[in-house]
Amino acid sequence: MPLFEVENLTYYYPETEQPALRNVNIAIEEGEFLLVAGGSGSGKSSLARALAGLIPGFYGGRIGGTVRYKKRDIQSINRRDLAGEIGIVFQDPEKQLVMTGVEAEVAFGLENTGLPQPEMFRRVAEVMSFLGITSLKTEFTAALSGGQKQKLALASVLAMQPQALILDEPASQLDPSAAEDLFNLLKKLNEEMHLTIILVEQRLDRCFHLADRVVVMEHGEILREGPPGEIAAWEVKKGLPFVPPVAALFAHTGSPVIPLTVKEGRRLLKKSTWSGSKEKAAAAVRQEHAGPSPGKEPVFEVKDLWFAYPNGREALRGINLSAGPGEFLAVLGENAAGKTTLLKHLAGLLKPNRGKVTIMGRDTRQATPQQMARTVGYLSQNPNDYLFQDTVAEELHFTLNNLGLPDEGRVDRLLKKLGLDRCRQTNPRDLSSGERQRAALASVMVAGPRLLLLDEPTRGLDYGLKAGLGNLLREIAESGTTVLLVTHDVEFAAEYACRVVMLFDGRIASDGPKHAVLGNSMFYAPQISKLFRGIDSGVLTFREAVEKMRHSSIQNVFAKKSR
Amino acid sequence: MLQKFFYQEKGLFLQSLHPAVSVTFTAVLLVQTVIFTHPLYLAGILVVTFLAIWEAGGLAAWEGYMKVALWMAALVTAINPLVNHSGNTVLWEGPDLPLSGRPIFTVEAISYGAAMGVRLLDMVSVFCLFNLIVHPDCFFSLFSTFARKSALAVSLATRLLPVMFAAMQNIREAQQLRGVDFSKGTLRERAAKNASLINILLVSSLEDSLQLAEAMHARAFGSGPRSRYRRDVFRPRDGICLAGSIFSLGATIFGLARGVGSYTYFPELSSLFNSGASLPALAAVLGGLALPALLSWGCNHCHYLKWKT
């Protein structure tokens, strides 16, 4: 018996002309693990909210069709009962935690449903023990890491013992290992607790294989649904990007079997007559450009940088780093490894306790952030921090006026380059998430900085928007601006950066060409690199893998098999 | 940097007390600080509060509070004799000055100023102690029995305040790197720059608040009467400390009714011990208040006492 039945669901948010959901029909079985994929604005989150009964109950708007839960119209179910049946975890844990302390947060939903104290205590104890967060019960929520906060958000929903759990991009704020932990936990909940899981996600490489069924959405409609392998093959055929790199690679080569995990892919690769060579790969690595351009003055130079916050926590310990014009660096590392602290030193926002940071030969200790602004562009994690003028064009003029720079057609050129020329008179707060980010980037880039710093720029972006941003940053780097970004997105770093710096506990664990660093990393390697580990260490990206396979016999083998 | 001023779970004895007991203890301290004028009582309360802060591992936080409070206390002590010319024991009489008249410094005015300075130190120390031993969630939970929505609103504000400060800092940094210098310009220009920060913060906070409301709605908030989650247990230690606080409050009321505990500064300083009951009353008031700190010390040094309480 289906747990959810959605029939001809069409939904308009208040004061909008375009529907967020168009004629959606889907049935979700009890105990199923459903993955919902699609681009930004495709209707994934709206579908999740409709299944959680938040649409139109919380949002208002116009709705057509029905959503039934256990054969009952979801809107007719008492909200208190519904909260005990269906739980929803949102993207940003920071924006869903209510209480100051961990234990009180877990109990919050239970208090709302009026449960008696002994029952609440039992559930709180059980769920905290199950998720391994009992040791955090007396902590303040503000003191938790991103991964712990998301686990707490999950605990506070699970405490209500729902039968269905809906998660809207729960891993978007997490580093790779925390994201992996979360997805493994979901699988455990699904398999051992028989919980129905509906996961909306953009980072598909770690969760595609976990699903029983994948739904692909576009423009508010369900394009296709089916088992992961079938969907992967169909997506590659249609040129859609919502598929893990391993599956996309094998589908691209014409393999009749589409592996969804690195393990399956490696098994397939080893069965075939792979003729890649380690020597060629090593040569490719050697050819890569890693350090500052010879003979050119470095754009930034960090010498023996030590920094501790006033609470005594040492965030950076003896950092040495430099980069020349046009280099594209990605800084990776776990949460609290010191990535953002390093970025803020390069922006001149923080000053070293010991050591030295110079930007274009200028010591940051001798300069205010305002003085650095002509040389350094800094885009923080939240693009909304930049947007407050009435129009996008005014945002760019605001920066120019502050720095006393003439326009001379800069605004027009930049807006065109970033694809924002049609939005120049639009209020930046009315833009989509991808457009907002580009508008914030434009407001920084308009000053023509020599060093561009970006903190987690791919957060919340879909594959298409990420590709757009990656290409744009690559262009910016090619034009001579040094680009340094901090990210958890290993796939993005592997695809677009030239050089990768790994930070661990405030120290540089490795620094070098991306093939050398990511190719040798066990946990921070992109999926394609994991696939080729020990087979061909020079392969890091999808394009490289396709190229290698084209020159090997593997493609022919698959082609023959499929015939 | 500011963390030391706020509650941090350290598993200490005083933090393990039932919130009703901790709140009663600090409330009694505060009430006594306000109603006592006797310098010995005020000084005694300061000593007892200091001991409790010590036992709560909060000396660093107390030092931080005292850096500001001592200046304020010194100011109160200095200003009082300047504006208060009462008292018979004149120490120094200055020349006649325009507007302010003739400055007269009396022993009584200086003593009164000093006592008020100590009272200020008492209040700040009690506030420091409260922050160190009472978990905010427990405090609000205590009041949620009769003021549910208000308690939740305050709890939410407590959680979101540091988040908003952090957001404000991020916005400021983003603006600085777009060339905004918040320290330059006329008063109007600086106000406009800071107003833009507030503008961004408010717009972003409104967007965030919608998400928070949605998360609360999804967890059935507002769907009917709520129950109250209690994680605190009432142990023998709570009974002892509560008894100490109530005993101290009782001794205070008894003493004040008998004229003990009040002190006359004007026109002449009265005797520190004006009756035979003065010393026992002082000992009773401070003894009751010192119980939590003494018990904490005892439990840290005697496992048997710890197990039994």
Which among B218, B245, B261 is the end of a domain?
Answer: B218
Q: Say yes or no for a CB contact (<8 Å) between B219 and A112.
A: yes
Which among B159, B194, B218 is the end of a domain?
Answer: B218
Same domain, yes or no: B83 and B115: yes
Q: Edge-to-edge strand order for the sheet containing A499-504?
A: A376-379, A451-455, A482-486, A328-332, A499-504, A507-513
Q: Is residue B28 part of a domain?
A: yes
Which residue of A96, A138, A347 is in closest CB contact with B212?
Answer: A96
Nearest C-alpha in B relative to A120: B229
Same domain, yes or no: B61 and B126: yes
In B, which residues are within 8 Å of A387 by CB distance? Answer: 200
Same domain, yes or no: B239 and B121: yes
Same domain, yes or no: B120 and B241: yes
Q: What is the pLDDT of residues A454-503, one digit of tens each?
A: 998 887 777 777 888 899 899 999 999 999 999 988 889 999 999 999 99
Note whether B219 and A109 are within 8 A (CB). yes
Same domain, yes or no: B112 and B164: no
**A551-554: which pairs have CB atoms within 8 A and are 24 or more residues apart?**
A551/A275, A551/A276, A552/A273, A552/A274, A552/A275, A552/A276, A553/A272, A553/A273, A553/A274, A553/A275, A554/A253, A554/A269, A554/A272, A554/A273, A554/A274, A554/A275
Nearest CA to A541 out of A456, A474, A481, A451 is that of A474
Q: Say yes or no for a CB contact (<8 Å) between A382 and B170.
A: yes
Note whether A42 and A219 are within 8 A (CB). yes
State both tokens at A126.
């059980």
Which residue of A80, A82, A88 is in closest CB contact with B224?
Answer: A80
Q: Is residue B228 part of a domain?
A: no
Note whether A372 and A449 are within 8 A (CB). no
In A, which residues are within 8 Å of B178 by CB distance? Answer: 373, 386, 398-399, 402-403, 443-444, 447
Q: Say yes or no for a CB contact (<8 Å) between B178 and A447.
A: yes
How far is A144 from A149, CA to CA, in rounded Å?
6
Task: Say if residue B267 is preceded by a cis peptide, omega within 30 of 0.
Answer: yes
Same domain, yes or no: B128 and B237: yes
Q: Is A446 helix (H, G, I), strand (E, B) or coil?
A: coil
Which residue of A80, A310, A368 is in closest CB contact with B1?
Answer: A310
**Res. A559 pLDDT band, cuts 50 70 90:** low
Provide the terminal-to-terminal Cα distance of chain B, rounded to the nearest Å.
35
Nearest C-alpha in B relative to A115: B227
Q: Is residue B292 part of a domain?
A: yes
Q: Is residue B237 part of a domain?
A: yes
Q: What is the pLDDT of residues A181-195, one digit of tens each?
A: 889 999 999 998 899
Q: Is residue B226 part of a domain?
A: no
How far is A13 from A18, CA to CA, in rounded Å?
8
Q: What is the dihedral of CA A121, A123, A125, A131, to 10 degrees?
A: -160
Q: Say yes or no for a CB contact (<8 Å) between B177 and A103.
A: no
Q: Is A376 helix (H, G, I), strand (E, B) or coil?
A: strand
Helix (H) or strand (E) holding B307: helix B303-308
Q: What's the number of domains chain B is made of?
A: 2
Nearest C-alpha in A relative to B219: A109
Residue to test with chain B: of A45, A78, A106, A113, most B Cβ within 10 A:
A113
All domains of chain A in start order, with CATH: 2-92+162-243 (3.40.50.300), 287-375+449-547 (3.40.50.300)
In B, which residues are within 8 Å of A443 by CB distance? Answer: 178
Residue B188 is part of which domain span? Answer: 147-218
Which residue of B173, B213, B224 is in closest CB contact with A114?
Answer: B224
Which residue of A80, A97, A117 is in closest CB contact with B220?
Answer: A80
How far is A471 from A477, CA to CA, in rounded Å?
10
The mean pLDDT of A341-368, rounded to a whole number, is: 93
The residues that bridge with A26 in the sheet, in sequence order, are A6
In sign, the C-alpha dihedral spanning B205, B209, B215, B219 is positive
Q: Say yes or no for a CB contact (<8 Å) between B173 and A54.
A: no
Provide the terminal-to-terminal Cα distance of chain A, rounded to the nearest Å.
39
Q: What is the pLDDT of residues A418-427, one digit of tens each?
A: 888 888 899 9
Same domain, yes or no: B201 and B111: no
Q: Is residue B9 part of a domain?
A: no
Q: Is residue B281 part of a domain?
A: yes
Same domain, yes or no: B214 and B69: no
Same domain, yes or no: B156 and B287: no
Which residue of A80, A384, A402 is in closest CB contact with B180?
Answer: A402
Longest dimension (CA), chain A: 73
Beta pairing class for A213-218 and A33-38? parallel
Complex ipTM over 0.85: no
Q: Crossing angle of helices B59-83/B39-55, nearest 10°?
A: 160
pLDDT tens track, chain B, 309 positions: 556 667 777 888 999 999 999 999 999 999 999 999 999 999 999 999 999 999 998 898 899 999 999 999 999 999 988 888 888 888 888 888 777 777 888 999 999 999 999 999 999 999 999 989 988 878 877 877 777 778 888 878 877 777 888 889 899 999 999 989 888 888 898 898 888 889 889 988 888 888 999 999 999 998 988 898 888 889 999 999 999 999 999 999 988 888 887 888 988 888 888 777 888 999 999 999 999 999 999 998 888 888 887
Model pLDDT, residue B251: 94
Same domain, yes or no: B136 and B96: yes
Q: Return the beta strands (E) in chain B as ranges.
A: 90-93, 104-106
Q: Say yes or no for a CB contact (<8 Å) between A160 and B177.
A: no
Nearest CA to A245 out of A296, A208, A191, A281 is that of A208
Which among B194, B218, B242 is the end of a domain?
Answer: B218
Taking the complete model, does pTM exceed 0.90, yes or no?
Answer: no
Q: Mean pLDDT of all residues in chain A?
A: 87
Nearest C-alpha in A relative to B231: A121
In chain A, the percentage of residues whose pLDDT exceeds 90 is 50
Nearest CA to A414 out of A438, A390, A385 is that of A438
How far is A320 from A91, CA to CA, in rounded Å?
35
Same domain, yes or no: B163 and B54: no
Nearest CA to A137 out of A105, A182, A115 is that of A105
A446 Cα to chain B: minimum distance (Å): 10
Note whether A113 and A155 are within 8 A (CB). no
State both tokens at A539.
């392969």
State both tokens at B121.
């130190």
Q: Is residue B6 part of a domain?
A: no
How far is A89 from A152, CA to CA, in rounded Å?
10
Give the number of beta-carbon pairs within 8 Å between A and B: 181
Neighbour count for residue A356 (Cβ, 10 Å): 13
Same domain, yes or no: B253 and B211: no
